[in-house]
Amino acid sequence: MFLSVFDMFKVGIGPSSSHTMGPMVAAARFLDMMRASPFAFHGVKGSLHGSLAFTGVGHATDRATILGLAGFVPDSYDNEKAEATLTAIHATHTVTPKGLPVLAFNPKTDLVFDYDHALPGHANGMILMATDAQDDVILRQVFYSVGGGFVLTEEELAQGKDTNDGPPVPFPFKSAAEMLEMAAASGKSIAQMKRANEIARGCEVSLARGTARLWEVMNNCIERGLATDGILPGGLKVRRRAKGIHDALMAERGMNLNAPHTINDWMSVYAMAVNEENAAGGQVVTAPTNGAAGTLPAVLRYYLDHVPGASPSHIEDFLLTAAAIGGLVKYNASISGAEAGCQAEVGSAAAMAAAGLCAVMGGTPEQVENAAEIALEHHLGMTCDPVKGLVQVPCIERNGLAAIKAVSAASLALRGDGKHFVPLDACIETMRQTGQDMNEKYKETSLGGLAVNVPNC
């Protein structure tokens, strides 16, 4: 099993990896199918199903799909250009993707929110269609946005999860137990094994450049969030708080009167800054999803700014270790809130962040595995119930609290010798089973929990 660090961490746009980035990626893939087809196309249509329908407006799923059909992709997204393109599409009822003719598309009638018919493969399903001059469908594809910006066709989903073809990797662990066995046999850390796998599929220079860019985008997102105030879009009138909290923390520095628990506020404010940017549709990195994008950068920023002896040279090891843990969770369970609740998003993020921090603070592979297990275990059962379908309440604060849990989990693991009662594999399997048993109204549909008990306006 191989999932690249660049699969787990993808540069994209807010507010949701599965509901915004995924549909945009699906639309781009559909355009590629059209370009490769011998048919003469006249128009495009689509329908959103399951969680994509129920919370699609709050997650800007319709906007992302429309822009995707116009040729936009997350990693090169230009917001100013996107706004101009949307205005033109609504005026002309056409899209003009590169390499295809002008295509008829009326956003009001050609993209349907289908609340009544869930698709069988995953809670985040969508159908894209291309039509001829008589408006008959001549190309159709079902896509599933399975979390973290990953998109599969219905055929790919049916083939199984491990469809990542390529050269063999030296450490193909599919479970935490295998990971620890390989670490013991090789004498390598988890980051070293992950690095060897990445180089087997790429090269050392591109790995270094790529991970450096990931942290640059993450840290820039933190900085923008710390510098920006105002009201978040979407109608809930949620105030940005990261700037105000950060300004107060900076003013208190050096006063010698701060309570020790103030460090928790630093962890939280870094995470909140990211998730406020995400909620505003800004550029973020999936870690492993947009809804959980603040937890891991917050822990890494905490390490760099507040831990004595911290070094930027350890950033790559942090990200590689975190990606190894995230890959295990995705392969053996889920990172999708629509599939398994917020335990799959913020819980996975906390496990990844705890593992990364433990590793760069000198933890053994056994301690790293323990840190990930502690962090994930104490998110089990967490529901995904965003108010009004927006990635704001409770999502923004939740990332801050997850960062605190991740640091605590790493610290506890480092105080031990790596031996513990619940293996990470058992915790991941428990998360999968819990998600399977969880009522659908608590899985990113906004039909239960806080979403129905808090006024939406």
Q: pLDDT per residue over 398-429, tens digit each?
A: 999 999 999 999 999 999 999 999 999 999 99
For residue 8, is it within any domain? no
- Which residues form the domain of 380? 176-453
Judgement on whether residues 148 and 180 belong to the same structural domain of the protein? no
CATH number at residue 193: 1.10.4100
Band (75; pLDDT cuts 50, 70, 90): confident
Element (H, E) at 47: strand 43-50
329 found inside a domain: yes
User: Rounded to whole angstroms, how far apart are CA atoms 293 and 274?
Assistant: 7
Strand residues in 85-136 grouped as ranges (E): 94-95, 103-104, 111-114, 124-131
How far apart, in whole angstroms, are the C-alpha atoms of residue 291 and residue 275?
A: 7
- Same domain, residue pair 130 and 210: no
180 and 219 together in one domain: yes
| Average pLDDT value for residue range 319-333 | 98
Number of domains comprising the chain: 2
CA-based angle 121:122:128, to the nearest 5?
80
- Dihedral sign, CA of 262, 266, 272, 273? positive
Q: Please give the full DSSP string across 221-266, using - where no structure is assigned.
A: HHHHHHH--SB-SSSS-PBP-HHHHHHHHHHHTT-S---TTHHHHH
Same domain, 192 and 316: yes
User: Is 170 within a domain?
Assistant: no
Q: Is the pLDDT of residue 456 over 80?
A: no
Does some domain include residue 340? yes
Round to whole Å and give the CA distance between 132 and 43: 7
Q: Are 184 and 152 part of one and the same domain?
A: no
Q: Are residues 148 and 297 in the same domain?
A: no
CA distance 422 to 371: 11
Tell me what pLDDT residue 161 has: 57
Last residue of a domain, one of 159, 187, 212: 159
Selected residue with higher pLDDT from 70 and 57? 70
* Average pLDDT of the residues in 174-185: 98
Q: What is the mean pLDDT of residues 244-254?
A: 94
Mark whether 248 and 395 lie in a shared domain. yes
- How is 285-318 classified by DSSP, letter by letter? E-SS-STTTTHHHHHHHHHHHHSTT--GGGHHHH
Q: Read off the pLDDT of residues 276-301 as tens digits, 9 standing for 90 and up.
A: 999 999 999 999 999 999 999 999 99
CATH of the domain at 68: 3.30.1330.90
Q: What is the pTM of this model?
A: 0.92
Please report whether residue 2 resides in a domain.
no
- The predicted pLDDT at position 255 comes to 82
Residue 88 lies in a domain: yes
Q: What percent of the chain has pLDDT over 70?
A: 98
Cβ neighbours of residue 450 closer than 8 Å, sequence gap 6 or more: 385, 386, 387, 393, 394
Using the predicted structure, report yes or no on whether residue 254 has a pLDDT greater than 90: no
In this model, does residue 245 exceed pLDDT 70?
A: yes
Question: Which pLDDT value is given to residue 208?
Answer: 97
Asked if residue 16 lies in contact with residue 291, where contact means CB atoms within 8 angstroms, the answer is yes
Give the residue from 92, 127, 159 where a domain finishes. 159
Establish if 441 belongs to a structural domain. yes
Report pLDDT digits (tens) over 15-44: 999 999 999 999 999 999 999 999 999 999
Q: Is 112 helix (H, G, I), strand (E, B) or coil?
A: strand
- Single out the residue in 134, 159, 184 at which a domain terminates: 159
The pLDDT value given to residue 457: 59
Residue 163: pLDDT over 60? no
Q: Residue 144: pLDDT above 90?
A: yes
* 287 and 417 inside one domain: yes
**Where is 66: in which H helix or E strand?**
helix 61-69
Average pLDDT, the chain: 96
Residue 164 has what pLDDT? 61
Query: Domain check: are 230 and 366 in the same one?
Result: yes
Structure tokens that stand for 231 in this block: 């009201």
- DSSP secondary structure code for residue 220 in this structure: H
Indicate whether 338 and 385 sit together in one domain.
yes
Burial class of residue 119, CB neighbours in 10 A (0-12, 13-18, 19+): buried
Report how far residue 321's alpha carbon sits from residue 242's, in angstroms, rounded to the nearest whole number: 28
- Report the 3 state secondary structure along 155-185: HHHHHCCCCCCCCCCCCCCCCHHHHHHHHHH
Instruction: Return the pLDDT at 441.
Output: 96
With respect to residue 401, please indicate whether it lies within any of the assigned structural domains. yes
